Structure 1
């Protein structure tokens, strides 16, 4: 080997290159650790032109900032994003570096629509389930109650919006919509009336049952006034009604089979 001048030159060049790379890496590491790159501020802005309603400086300081590690160069932006998305009311966060020692965090807040599942969780207008202060949500809007199996949140939300549109034709609004574990739909309207719609045989079943109720509803109200407690639309050729303020329940049906 010692008589092979070419191999010796190649070896020396390789060693020199390694030493040079090590020196450069050490120099870069020394530079990025300078105090000027220590994070001095984190600017938080809303994703829309409106100001953030529920996320404030105190919450961020207590819930997100302690989880942030590193400086301008070494901070893991995915970890920073995760820290902010763990803050109540934050739906989504995006993070950018701002030279030389700042981060800019853009937050998208949840907009509460109602409660989900009856255990204190909330559901947003986008169909996301989240946990936050229920009293704050109630200050924003009149919460509806949505219920369904885990994973059905967006389906229930979509059906609620359709039901809201359909019953709006008779000036009624769903206050709660439930999709049971047996895949049956029911709702309670803002006049206190419970409506059982049952399971769906196809995509048009639910609307057909609602349309049938809407068609006869004026007659029902004319004869029963405000005494209808519930209506069961699961009968293929009729319906069943239960009256409030009466002993027992009174039913009117044209068929006994339910679906």
Structure 2
């Protein structure tokens, strides 16, 4: 090998070194840029959620309820806000039945809420929606909760109680009457108190047929000089009637 060839081999490859240096600088720039963008996105002062717009036919869910929840549970940054978690949190609010949420560039949230449809009060401390699901129905000051029938029953019987109420209410409305309170015992016996003050004991079995028997005979009962206090329908045929004393107020229509 000649001395000239050995000298050429010993020379550093400046083009290769320059290329590697450029590549390292480029990679460093990319990493720094990504870090800077991430830091900017996480900085709520630079990318805050400025507007939370709430929509829907709302009576019991307020803008303040939703906005306070979002501000409390989510980072202030628009980019860092977890839409799925925010969606789950909003649906945990008592009067929220369903919700949808989406980000809108550059700094706002659009939230739509479908409220619970209340059907009845449950054991004096909860409310049942139209599907028989119980929820806490406390409302903010100044909001008027709906006038609802009161249902009472053992835990886990919410759907049974509401189904029974709906079936019996439909019958009674056709006769110009309505349920004020419904009681379902541990043994699933039915007891009603009507808006007109009459109590009905329907027992466990064939309660719809027994209620229909009461409706059929009620015009005859109204002809009595005394007002009806209670009716016991736990018989295969017939019924037992308790009459109000003259001192007892009558609410019959």
Decide: shared fold, TM above 0.5.
Answer: yes
Determine the C-alpha separation between the residues in 2 that align with 1:135 and 1:152. Answer: 28
Q: CA RMSD in A?
A: 3.1
Partner of 2:64: 58
Partner of 1:33: 42
Which runs of no fewer than 5 residues in structure 2 stay unpaired?
A: 1-23, 248-253
Q: 1:99 to 1:134 in 2, by over 3 A?
A: closer
- Alignment of 1:95 with 2:101, yes or no, is yes
Partner of 1:244: 244
Partner of 1:227: 227
Contact 2:60 2:140 in 1 (8 A): no
Determine the C-alpha separation between the residues in 2 that align with 1:127 and 1:187. Answer: 18
Partner SS state of residue 101, structure 2: strand
Partner of 1:252: none
Q: Deviation at 1:230? A: 0.8
Determine the C-alpha separation between the residues in 2 that align with 1:60 and 1:231. Answer: 49
Contact 1:92 1:107 in 2 (8 A): yes
Partner SS state of residue 147, structure 2: coil
- Give TM-score scaled by structure 1 length: 0.72
Q: 1:226 to 1:114 in 2, by over 3 A?
A: farther
Contact 1:36 1:100 in 2 (8 A): no
Partner SS state of residue 182, structure 1: coil
Which runs of no fewer than 5 residues in structure 1 stay unpaired?
A: 1-15, 248-259
Contact 1:148 1:178 in 2 (8 A): yes
1:66-91, Cα deviation, whole Å (9 max, x unpaired): 12235333222232123323434222
Partner of 1:212: 213
Q: 1:183 aligns with which of 188, 195, 198?
A: 188
Contact 1:114 1:124 in 2 (8 A): yes
Partner SS state of residue 156, structure 2: coil
Q: Deviation at 1:98? A: 1.2
Partner of 2:21: none
1:86-115, Cα deviation, whole Å (9 max, x unpaired): 434222222111122222111112233332
Q: Deviation at 1:36? A: 4.7
Determine the C-alpha separation between the residues in 1 that align with 2:185 and 2:140. Answer: 27
Partner of 2:156: 151
Q: 1:219 to 1:137 in 2, by over 3 A?
A: farther
- Give TM-score scaled by structure 2 length: 0.74
Partner SS state of residue 37, structure 1: coil
